[in-house]
Structure 1
Amino acid sequence: MESSGSAGGGSRLEAAIGDAIAHDATLKVSLASQHYLDGTSKVELARRHGLSRFQVARLLEEARDEGIVRIEIVDPVAAGRDLAPLARRLGVSSVTVAAERPGESARAAIARQVARLLTAQLPEGGRLGVAWSRTLMHLPGALGQLSRADVVQLVGSLSTSGYSTAQSSALAHSLGAHTRGQVWALPTPLIVDSAQVAASLRAMEEVRSTLDAADSLDVATVSIGAWSEGDSTLWARLRPEEQRQAREAGVVAEICGILLGADGAVWHSAMEDRVIGVRPDQLRRARVIAAAPAVGRPDAVLAAARSGLVDDIVLGPELAEQVAALFE
């Protein structure tokens, strides 16, 4: 009999505890709904429920800790601004405007939006191509975890004002750490002194295998350079005579060492034989996300879009307005 009474007492106690927990949860839901949805003050909630202001505050804090209340902060800048009408006019899949956050550079803001698109587009087990630029060097810091994928360096290393060839080649390895896949590095300069030297380098096994790996890219990240001093990383590597010839031929943009005219056509010249990097046909087979940092050169963005080399373009607000103005 004592055993039976003890068991009955235990059941009643468990039931009482269960009722108290349910009442406590119901109270938290009620307080949270009135406070966060209706805007009722903690003082008024205390009066309505016969509690102290401090008890209300404690219960609301517990509601957050227990997941009854979930507060989501949406940064309107984080996703960028999608300009679908402009994308249709350009004939590309998307145009994203990257607004700067406080303390953030324009190039870092563009790289952050490239990272967002890359995270969405890169398939598991895929192959990612990357070309270094002063904008895309900010890419690793903007990335979280990516799908597992191999990484292919699209062009040979180069240096530019304030940046070394080591930083250029390190980008592919840094992205490889994010994707946890094989890295196909390109241990050559972007452009060499002669076609003979370039041919000799392309014949090297490690160079040939990387260039061949670009045949099956799923996604690539590149930068659109305007064809002028300071806007193209290739410009300073060309001889003055080649710079002049390119200008006279109407070149307005450069992507991965590929020179483009205003109509998007690739400019073919002897210079191509000295460049070591991805070919136009290889880029056209991939989903290409392009960063466009050159404010004041909307013609470069238009040429890139017309070339068929890029699918998604990320640019700053000022350049976006300049590109849109081309269609007015």
Structure 2
Amino acid sequence: MGAVSTPPSSPATDVFLAASIARRFYLEHRSKSEIADEFKISRFKVARILAGALAQGIVRIDITVPVTIDVDLSLALTERFKLSHVTVIAECQGAREMRPDEVIPWLGAAAARLISDIVDEDDVLGLAWGRSVEALGRAITTLAPCQVVQLTGSHPDEWDSDASVAAVLRAAAAGGGTAFPLYVPLLVPNGLTATILGKQPGIAATLAQFPHVSKAVVEIGAWAPTLSTVYDALTERERETYRELGVRAEMCGHLFDRDGAVVATELSDRVISIEVEELRKVPEVIAVAGNTRKADAIRAVLKSGLLTGIITDSSVARRLLSPDSSPSTP
């Protein structure tokens, strides 16, 4: 590669220069001397620019402990539910047993590793909104250069901020692909609002990608407080009405009974999300779900036949493998 002339200094060009030099040093593993020759600057200036890139957040270095996988439980779940991809993280990561609130980052790390392994540049990756998928976004560092599509709106308190689309943006940035975010809440007051929002150009562009999704990562909620975004967004009367209809689980804003059947309600008109039938056509659908309080809900969604994989923790895996757990049905 020939020498590159350093552009006149300005805030924009300074950032561009720092990013270019950081890419060569950290990703292309080129020496400071080689970079200095290319940009016609000194090695010492290269070092200063690299230090500045770290300080300004242009470069972020994460040091993580490898996730410990319970291989036996992973194989057992694969066989029981006839799945393609199963990762069960061990209860002890490092020196001690994890608390329930500590499981999410490990689930996200495991999901990031799996997605990095199985996604190709020809794929369209769909990500639902949720805490574990957010953790995936924080953990992912490499991905094939593919389109990344947000499959659902987000929590009512976060939908109008960058936090609601962070996982999609970070995943796309990891591979240099195109991001299709959804700056909308998962649940809106009525079907008319959902229809109007769905016609807005930016939102419509994302919704139009749903039929092309080839790999999806979703989350599962249980029909109980703090365990489902949809449950928490409803009134107590609505929650109880759906419970009486047999709702035990929620995924992408859609409701399921204990046997994995979709419970049809007017709620489906109020959620901004990929439809169940669209999700059923996605070749690979992987759920990221932990917490033993969700075990029965996870089992219900497994019975739906929508999932081809799951990332969970060993406590949940043991519950799913208990005698009252039956294989999934199509």
Displacement of 1:79 after TM fit? 4.8
Q: Do residues 229 (structure 1) and 225 (structure 2) align?
A: yes
Which of 72, 75, 83 is 1:92 aligned to? 83
Distance 2:66 2:154 in 1: 36
| 2:236 counterpart residue number | 240
| 2:267 counterpart residue number | 271
Q: Residue type of the partner of 2:232?
A: A
Superposition misfits of 4+ residues, deviation over 3 angstroms = 75-80, 162-166
Displacement of 1:141 after TM fit? 3.0
- What is the TM-score of this pair, normalised by structure 2? 0.71
Listed as ranges, the matches of 1:25-36 within 5 Å are none
Question: Are the equivalent residues in 1 in contact too, given 2:138–2:167 (CA < 8 A)?
Answer: no
Identity %: 32
Question: Are the equivalent residues in 1 in contact too, given 2:145–2:177 (CA < 8 A)?
Answer: yes
Displacement of 1:165 after TM fit? 4.8
Question: Are the equivalent residues in 2 in contact too, given 1:189–1:276 (CA < 8 A)?
Answer: yes
Structure 1 unaligned runs (5+)?
1-74
Question: Are the equivalent residues in 1 in contact too, given 2:67–2:106 (CA < 8 A)?
Answer: no
Q: Secondary structure at the match of 1:275?
A: coil
Q: Secondary structure at the match of 2:149?
A: strand
Query: How large is the RMSD of aligned CA atoms in angstroms?
Result: 2.3
Displacement of 1:201 after TM fit? 0.9
Q: Do residues 198 (structure 1) and 189 (structure 2) align?
A: no
Q: Residue type of the partner of 1:293?
A: G
Question: Are the equivalent residues in 2 in contact too, given 1:225–1:294 (CA < 8 A)?
Answer: no
Distance 1:268 1:109 in 2: 34
Which of 256, 259, 272 is 2:255 aligned to? 259
Displacement of 1:77 after TM fit? 4.5
Displacement of 1:87 after TM fit? 2.4
Distance 2:137 2:194 in 1: 30
Distance 1:189 1:120 in 2: 30
Structure 1 residues 265 and 299, CA, compared in 2 at 3 Å: closer, same or farther? same
Structure 1 residues 205 and 246, CA, compared in 2 at 3 Å: closer, same or farther? same
Q: Residue type of the partner of 1:93?
A: S
Q: Secondary structure at the match of 1:83?
A: helix
Count of residue pairs brought into register by the alignment = 253
Post-superposition Cα deviations, 1:2-38, rounded to whole Å, max 9, x if no partner, equal: xxxxxxxxxxxxxxxxxxxxxxxxxxxxxxxxxxxxx
Distance 1:227 1:122 in 2: 31
Which of 210, 213, 217 is 2:213 aligned to? 217
Question: Are the equivalent residues in 2 in contact too, given 1:97–1:315 (CA < 8 A)?
Answer: yes
Distance 1:256 1:165 in 2: 20
Displacement of 1:89 after TM fit? 2.1
| 1:285 counterpart residue number | 281
Distance 1:268 1:278 in 2: 15
| 1:147 counterpart residue number | 144
Post-superposition Cα deviations, 1:168-218, rounded to whole Å, max 9, x if no partner, equal: 222211111112111111122111111111111112222222112011111
Q: Residue type of the partner of 1:308?
A: G
| 1:300 counterpart residue number | 297
Distance 1:169 1:130 in 2: 10
Distance 1:303 1:153 in 2: 24
Which of 1 and 2 has greater Rg? Answer: 1
Q: Residue type of the partner of 1:135?
A: S
Distance 2:232 2:66 in 1: 39
Distance 1:294 1:107 in 2: 9
Structure 2 unaligned runs (5+)?
1-64
Structure 1 residues 163 and 212, CA, compared in 2 at 3 Å: closer, same or farther? closer
Listed as ranges, the matches of 1:40-55 within 5 Å are none
Q: Secondary structure at the match of 1:234?
A: helix
Structure 1 residues 168 and 149, CA, compared in 2 at 3 Å: closer, same or farther? same
Q: Do residues 181 (structure 1) and 172 (structure 2) align?
A: no
Post-superposition Cα deviations, 1:89-134, rounded to whole Å, max 9, x if no partner, equal: 2232233211252387211111111112211221123211111211
| 2:7 counterpart residue number | none
Question: Are the equivalent residues in 1 in contact too, given 2:85–2:309 (CA < 8 A)?
Answer: yes
| 2:109 counterpart residue number | 112
Q: Secondary structure at the match of 1:86?
A: helix
Q: Residue type of the partner of 1:101?
A: Q
Q: Residue type of the partner of 2:243?
A: R
Question: Are the equivalent residues in 1 in contact too, given 2:159–2:183 (CA < 8 A)?
Answer: no
